[in-house]
Amino acid sequence: MVLMRFANHPIAPRCTFRRRMLAVAAYCYIYRTVHSLLKVLNSRALVVLYLAFSLVGPASASGIVRPDDSVGGIPASARAAGEAPDVSMRAGFLSAPDGRELWSRSADEPRAMASTTKIMTAVVTLEHAELDEDVKIEERTARAGESYADLRAGETYTVKELLEALIVPSGNDAARALATHVGGTEQGFVAMMNEKAQELGLSETEFSNSHGLDAAGHHTSPRDLATLSDYAMKNPEFRRIAGLKKTTIDGGNGPRTLESRNALLGEVVGATGIKTGWTSDAGFCIVGSATRHDSELIAVVLGASSEAERFSQSTELLEWGFEHYGRQEFASADETMGAVPVADYLDRDVGAVLEGVASAGVFDLDGDISEDITLPSSVQAPVEVGQRLGTYTVRQGDRLLTQVPIVAAEAISKPGIAERIWISIVRGWRRATGWEPAATAP
């Protein structure tokens, strides 16, 4: 594979055979060295090297279309070759700003979710506690295993600081501290999490703890996780925390700097969050998000095989998404949509204009776009400025993209008595003679 890739490289014809073999050997050495470094580097450096090297390294054969893949709600196998993203995680989901599915794999299959659990932990906390409330760290909380924020027994933090310790370094100790503070007990808080899941319609989601360690009855689906993340990102405080690359907290023993585990932040254009995770059952997971041109996409990756892969897969989903999805303007505010005859007058029309901008998110793999203007055959005076006359509708296939009212561009009052008499005479003459005014171009 390496030899073939190099042989097809533009510089290959200028190389002697001996030089070519030396170059191939050097390439293989660099490839092995970089992959060894990936095991010891921090996650941010890891993803940068991984993504950069993948541009010149051997192509992956694992990113294939699977039977449970879907593009825009249609089985990927029914679409043209090359329309689906090249990804290899076990399950995933890519959603548009309106929540619609752009791509999915095993979208509704319940799976372990690892620390992406903490998205719900943060949501419930934000909706039941004030940011400036103080929380004292208990001994049991400080001993939380696995991922932690190094909270120490006896320290006191605000809810705001604990939320940052929860999301940024993914602290299990912060999760337990918030759970007992808000819910009274861990299980009391878990009940609140499950109640919120039902409220949001997360049919494949159930929580057994606040931190995400593997446990019976603790699972979600890619679709549910995308829905939850979209809901969470509508909270300004959650959005702020999810986008932090690092933060500083102080529980009374001096300031402590915490760094994010999300290597997308600062590396992927427009990255806004959200949360990473790993357990033996869940594999490497991430909910990544990015905003470009006023559109935010959310990419869920569950069951990636490595830390590097979860970042490369989420990056691939986001880049593929922005390649095929974006906001499109179809007509501007006050744009003329036609004219409507005013029935009370002779040959007088009122201008019909768009009330506001007609725009919508468009997924270019969903087919052709159609526009429709609906206006009445006539309107009775008086007509007020801004009076509703009709509707401008844009569809993509069977999907409604946008509807914007069409309104009157001017005010027209009722004709006076003398004018009404004259109009009546002219109309009678026209009926008697069969004369009609010449049509005018719109």
Cα–Cα distance, 323 to 2 (Å, whole number): 29
Extended beta strands in 7-85, E state: 69-71, 74-75
Catalytic residue set: 115, 118, 170
Spatial contact of 319 and 327, defined as CB atoms under 8 Å apart? no
Nearest of 97, 99, 178 to residue 137 by alpha carbon: 178
- Return the H-helix or E-strand segment holding 425: helix 417-433
DSSP string, 74-112: EEGGGSPTT-S-----SEEEEE-TTS-EEEEESTT--B-
Cα–Cα distance, 406 to 419 (Å, whole number): 29
The two structure tokens encoding residue 36? 């060894």
Cα–Cα distance, 129 to 343 (Å, whole number): 61
Eight-state DSSP code of residue 9:
S
